[in-house]
Amino acid sequence: MPVPTAPTLPTLAREADDLLAVHLVTLGCARNEVDSEELAARLEDGGFRLVADPEDADAVMVNTCGFVEAAKKDSVDTLLAAADLKEQGRPRAVVAVGCLAERYGNELAESLPETDAVLSFDDYADVAGRLSAILAGQPHTAHVPRDRRTLLPMAPAARRAAAQGQSLPGHGTPAPAAAAPDLPVGLAPASGPRPLRRRLEGGPTAPLKIASGCDRRCAFCAIPAFRGAYLSRPAAEVVTEARWLVEQGVRELFLVSENTSSYGKDLGDIRALEALLGELSALDGLDWIRVSYLQPAEVRPSLVSAMTSTPKVVPYFDLSFQHASPTLLRRMRRFGDPDSFLALIASIRAQAPTAGIRSNVICGFPGETEADVDVLCDFLGEAGLDAIGVFGYSDEDGTEAARLDRQLPLDVVEERRERLADLVDELVAERAAQRVGETVQVLVEEVDDVVTGRAAHQGPEVDGSVELVDAAGARVGAFVPAVVTASAGADLVARPLPTWSGRV
């Protein structure tokens, strides 16, 4: 029996005497933010309009996070909250997309009947058509999850050709040429190659995805299975999108991926990231370039040199240590030890003494001993990191770690997490206090009762902020030279230099 064809979106819009409205919610990391902006562009290209209030929407689309248990719960709670609004008459449909949706597919749809559809990454290319059909009352059959690493060849060099025609969220796949003219306001330029992206948040900072997927096999991580094998975006494509973002008023680019230090491995150039930084630095109107998600074992001396010497690249190193005990790191299927990690940190600070260095650590991994925790604490005490995220281990479906022996009781994991969190609070506060008297450039992000922003060593949202005092006339997007006068935790207080006169 043939499947009935859904009314086209323009037809539905004319029947409603208006464009159908979508409220898009983004959860999780900066990579998800890029994906949401791709979805927004595809929806607007397809005739939908985006609205800020879910009660004004015909559909609420939630870009979910599926990384750890807390993030999954947040995603489910957000979907249920949207479903509660639907029960009150508005919106008419609730749709799940993103990592949780991709990872669990039909299982999520069955366990969460309050949602009207669970879409896969493979649905992104025609997300407007999918949503049009859902709003027309057509049922959507959720996908059966699969290991997305199998979609691309094992050999990195063969992946670019094989990726043609596949749905790769955040890779800026151009819209069909026929869709280029007369784009909605806020989309990329109508002529020539353009990124398929629509900014959802204002402000002077924007994430820019340079690759997707991961080839590493960390025992605790499920991301490679639902994000797929590692694939770099060609430099020309990245630069084109960066140029467009600058035209939209962005002054800081935040380069993101699952593993940025692997950039170029599938392009045949292990130093492609260094070259890309140079190309981005040449863009007029761009002030800061920030690199995220570096694997310590892959950080080459040439990369450290490029990140500390290339104009506009801020000396900021987001290093994923995860632990410091060599025995436990091997059990995690990672590499390193305190000496090698401290040597890497020393090499960075030798070239950029005020560089910002952040990391995340996991405690309570199966087999972790008290001695392992002591090794981690000693390392953190010596490292002098600016920001540290502490996570208690939890089993993730389909990972090797979930099958390991010597699993620790939950109360032990939580006890160790609290111990580390208390230590980290002290260490981060000490590191911030060392910056008192330091001269910093502050990118202003908010002007309200107080003026707040970030210094070069602070990444967006997670690394603390700077409050500027006596900064009347500062505007969002301004760079203010200032001297640090005080600290509180990771946050700083700074006063503009006498030479600053309120100019951007």
Task: Say how many CA atoms lie within 13 Å of 437 toward its Cβ.
Answer: 3
Share of the chain above pLDDT 70, in %: 91
Does 214 count as an annotated binding residue?
Answer: yes
Domain end position, chosen among 415, 434, 453: 434
Are 143 and 78 contained in the same domain? yes
Are 426 and 485 contained in the same domain? no
Domain total for the chain?
3
Are 411 and 482 contained in the same domain? no
Chain CA centroid to CA 289, Å: 15
- Residues linked to residue 173 through DSSP beta bridges, in sequence order: none
**Distance between CA atoms of residues 157 and 485, nearest Å:** 51
Q: Which CATH number fits the domain that encloses residue 87?
A: 3.40.50.12160
Q: Which CATH number fits the domain that encloses residue 464?
A: 2.40.50.140
Are 123 and 221 contained in the same domain? no
**Distance between CA atoms of residues 375 and 91, nearest Å:** 52
Residue ranges making up the domain that contains 486 = 436-496
Taking each helix axis as running N to C, give the angle between helix 30-45 and helix 98-111, from 0 to 180 degrees, rounded to the nearest 10: 80
Share of the chain above pLDDT 90, in %: 82
Task: Say how many CA atoms lie within 13 Å of 77 toward its Cβ.
Answer: 7
**Within a domain: residue 8?**
no
The enclosing H or E element of 442 equals: strand 439-447
Tokens of 318: 């987001």
Radius of gyration of the chain (CA): 23
Are 337 and 453 contained in the same domain? no
Question: Is the pTM above the cut of 0.85?
Answer: yes
pLDDT of the residue at 13: 38
Domain end position, chosen among 149, 183, 211: 149
**Within a domain: residue 492?**
yes
Does 377 count as an annotated binding residue?
Answer: no
Average pLDDT over residues 179-197: 52
| Cβ proximity of 248 and 276 under 8 Å | no
**Distance between CA atoms of residues 441 and 458, nearest Å:** 11
Per-residue pLDDT of 379-402, as tens digits, reads: 999 999 999 999 999 999 999 999
| Helix residue ranges, H only, 192-294 | 223-227, 235-247, 272-281
Domain end position, chosen among 434, 466, 482: 434
Average pLDDT over residues 136-155: 93
Are 238 and 104 contained in the same domain? no
Are 345 and 398 contained in the same domain? yes
Are 393 and 270 contained in the same domain? yes
Name the amino acid, one letter, at 126. D
Per-residue pLDDT of 23-61, as tens digits, reads: 999 999 999 999 999 999 999 999 999 999 999 999 999
